[in-house]
Amino acid sequence: DIQMTQSPSSLSASVGDRVTITCRASQGIRNYLAWFQQKPGEAPKSLISATSSLQSGVPSKFSGSGSGTEFTLTISSLQPEDFATYYCQQYDSYPLTFGGGTKVEIK
């Protein structure tokens, strides 16, 4: 199975900050990497597919990059509605696997 490791597991940031989350795969997954956002008590929401393609309706402050085994999610200017937990997921091969999550909290 491909292991997905996110770092950090949590971070504190202020409104307006630029935030970067890293996701590492235990083996190469080409560009088959997705990002999801989950707020407390809600279902996850799809943000990015194929490493860098924004899902419909997702604001451009979110961006993704990387390839192979190392990927990043960047939020250019953190807003109150962005405080949430973020998960990466590989879909290069079965079983599909998620990272452990990164909780973004208010400083």
Tell me: does residue 100 bind other proteins (CB under 8 A): yes
When binding is defined by CB under 8 A, the residue of 73, 75, 97, 104 that contacts other proteins is: 97
Let me know: does 49 contact 31? Beta carbons within 8 Å: no
Compute the least distance from the CB of residue 24 to other proteins, in Å.
Answer: 16
Task: Tell me the closest approach of the beta carbon of residue 98 to other proteins, in angstroms.
Answer: 4
Burial 10-42 (b: 16+ CB within 10 A, else e): eeebeeeeebebbbbbeeebeebbbbbbeeeee
Given candidates 3, 12, 27, 53, which one binds other proteins under the rule CB under 8 A? 53
- Spatial separation of the C-alpha atoms in residues 87 and 89, rounded to whole Å: 7
In angstroms, what is the minimal distance from the CB of 19 to other proteins?
19
Which residue in the set 45, 54, 69, 72 belongs to the binding site for other proteins (CB under 8 A)?
Answer: 45
Q: Residue 86 has what DSSP assignment? A: E
Give the closest residue to 1 by CA, choosing from 67, 72, 68, 90.
90
Q: Which residues are near other proteins by CB under 8 A?
A: 1, 31-32, 34, 36, 38, 43-46, 49-50, 53, 55, 87, 89, 91-92, 94-101
